[in-house]
Amino acid sequence: MAYLLPFLAVYLGSSIAFFVQPKTAKGMKLLLAFSGAFLLGVLVLEMLPQVYRSEDRYAGIWILVGILFQNLLEFFSKGAEHGHAHHGQNKQLPWVLLISLCIHAFLEGLPLTAQPTLLLAVSIHKIPIGLVVGLLLLQTNVSFLAKGAALFIFALMSPLGSYLGGLIDSPALISHIEPFIVGILFHISTTILFESSEGHNFNLQKFLSILLGIAIAAVV
């Protein structure tokens, strides 16, 4: 499941882009708000207590390093990890953006084999991200084969990270990797929630989506 769910989630999101081609971003924003809240709930309620129960006294530093790393990565990905769709004039494949997304996807896959709740949260988050990647690919003039290859490589990154993460049997290394990934995902989830209210106006639908995400994280 750690290999299949994130992979299928990307294709589910991209299928919406390819076949439905939504005219407005309302549905995606609600899904982003829900997925960001669910992910944040899992991090706060499950991952953070687990990280701080470990014997790594530098766990907090690794979390901060993860936050800073993701902040740096977004200079190249332009925030696509938290749902920013880009409508530019470049009709070629956005290689720098795609490589940045692949790095992020690979890293977030590392702890998933040992964290089933986080696996579910990341997989749900990948649906709107798959939608964003699908929309980006639709804007290009490259062949269908090239688009399919780019999407396949991106979809494969988290399962690949999960596979390699499952091979790590060093408790010391795991105690560094987990807080680092928590920092990356903490940055993503909080950014989604901060950006979910345009103009800082109250939106009941988004608030209910966030509330639902947190509530589900509390009971799973």
Domain of residue 76, residue span = 4-18+26-195
Tell me, yes or no, whether 210 lies in a domain: no
CA 154-79-135 angle, 5° bins? 55
For residues 99 and 11, what is the distance between their CA atoms, to the nearest angstrom? 18
Q: State the pLDDT at residue 117.
A: 93
4 CB-contact burial (10 Å; exposed 0-12 / middle 13-18 / buried 19+): exposed
Tell me which of 74 and 102 has the higher pLDDT.
102
Tell me, yes or no, whether 149 lies in a domain: yes
pLDDT-based confidence at 199, cuts 50/70/90?
Answer: low
Distance of CA 96 to the CA centre of its chain: 17
171-194 vs 116-138: helix axis angle to the nearest 10?
50
Tell me, yes or no, whether 188 lies in a domain: yes
Tell me, yes or no, whether 59 lies in a domain: yes
Beta strands in 13-82 (DSSP E): none
| Buried/exposed code over 73-96 (b: 16+ C-beta within 10 A; e: otherwise) | bbebbbbbbbbebeeeeeeebbee
Tell me, yes or no, whether 136 lies in a domain: yes
Domain count, the chain: 1
Tell me, yes or no, whether 214 lies in a domain: no
CB 21 within 8 A of CB 137: no
pLDDT-based confidence at 87, cuts 50/70/90?
Answer: low
Q: pTM of the full predicted structure? A: 0.89
Summarised one tens digit per residue, pLDDT across range 2-30 is: 789 999 999 999 998 888 876 666 777 88
For residues 166 and 110, what is the distance between their CA atoms, to the nearest angstrom? 7
81 has a pLDDT exceeding 80 = no
Tell me, yes or no, whether 204 lies in a domain: no
Distance of CA 100 to the CA centre of its chain: 12
Tell me, yes or no, whether 201 lies in a domain: no
